[in-house]
């Protein structure tokens, strides 16, 4: 399907996500959060290939007539949007240079196209980075009643991080402990319990 924009969007997403493999674990085999990864270990060749695929997807999308598309002409599908989010991270050689405002807009588009509590949680993280932890926490708190996230450890983990950034360390510690109780990954559990013991740590 060489003329299908979403195919190239999926390729772009896979290439950019794969570029981070060497940086995702530390020497002890523990997961390293995206913003703490050594970006010098990201594979720049895979990133360039991902960017090329994303540009191809966008070019094909711009050429597609409205009557041949499932969506109105020019509107990206979920793979292109997810690849664009990944590209925002890949462009930032330093985490501080991440274009969080653009990522928020992309998550808003993704949420409108494929509504999902997980997408909304990711949007809350992005809003927390773009507009401050209080704004992100407001969105995350609205998801606490979502049945699909009841046992999803990333929700209390995200809330814990946002609460810690607000200086609410006791509340943050409780959220990190809850997240640790929900995850099945031992390395992740150890990290979360470490955050619970010292929620003020960056």
Q: What's the pLDDT at 2?
A: 87
What's the CA gap between 67 and 21, in Å, rounded? 40
Mean pLDDT per 10-residue section of the chain, whose length is 202 residues? 94 98 91 94 98 96 67 78 98 96 98 96 98 98 95 97 96 97 93 90 65
Question: Are the C-beta atoms of 192 and 157 separated by less than 8 Å?
Answer: yes
Can you read off the two tokens belonging to residue 50?
């991902």
Q: What's the pLDDT at 162?
A: 97
Can you read off the two tokens belonging to residue 47?
């990133």
Domain ranges of the chain: 1-98, 115-202
Could you write out the three-class secondary structure of the chain? Answer: CCCCHHHHHHHHHHHHHHCCHHHCECCCCCECCHHHCCHHHCCHHHHHHHHHHHHHHHHHHHHCCHHHCCCCCCCCCHHHHHHHHHHHHHHCCCHHHCCHHHHHHHHHHHHHHCCCHHHHHHHHHHHHHHHCHHHHHHHHHCCCCCHHHCCCCHHHHHHHHHHHHCCCHHHHHHHHHHHHHHCCCHHHHHHHHHHHHCCCCC
Q: What's the pLDDT at 202?
A: 57
Q: What's the pLDDT at 200?
A: 77
Q: What's the pLDDT at 55?
A: 97
CATH class of domain segment(s) 115-202: mainly alpha
Q: What's the pLDDT at 16?
A: 98
């Amino acid at each position: 399907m060489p003329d299908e924009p979403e195919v190239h969007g999926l390729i772009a997403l896979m290439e950019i996500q794969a570029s981070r493999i060497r940086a995702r674990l530390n020497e002890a085999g523990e997961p390293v959060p995206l913003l703490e990864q050594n970006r010098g270990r990201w594979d720049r060749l895979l990133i360039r290939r991902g960017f090329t695929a994303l540009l191809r997807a966008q070019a094909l999308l711009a050429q597609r007539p409205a009557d041949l598309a499932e969506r109105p002409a020019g509107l990206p599908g979920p793979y292109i949007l997810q690849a664009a989010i990944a590209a925002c991270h890949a462009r930032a050689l330093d985490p501080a240079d991440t274009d969080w405002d653009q990522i928020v807009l992309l998550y808003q588009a993704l949420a409108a196209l494929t509504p999902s509590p997980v997408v909304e949680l990711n949007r809350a993280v992005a809003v927390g980075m773009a507009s401050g932890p209080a704004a992100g926490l407001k969105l995350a708190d609205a998801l606490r009643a979502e049945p699909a996230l009841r046992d999803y450890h990333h929700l209390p983990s995200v809330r814990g991080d946002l609460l810690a950034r607000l200086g609410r360390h006791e509340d943050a510690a409780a959220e990190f402990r809850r997240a640790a109780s929900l995850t099945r990954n031992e390395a992740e559990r150890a990290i979360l319990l470490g955050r619970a013991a010292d929620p003020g740590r960056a």
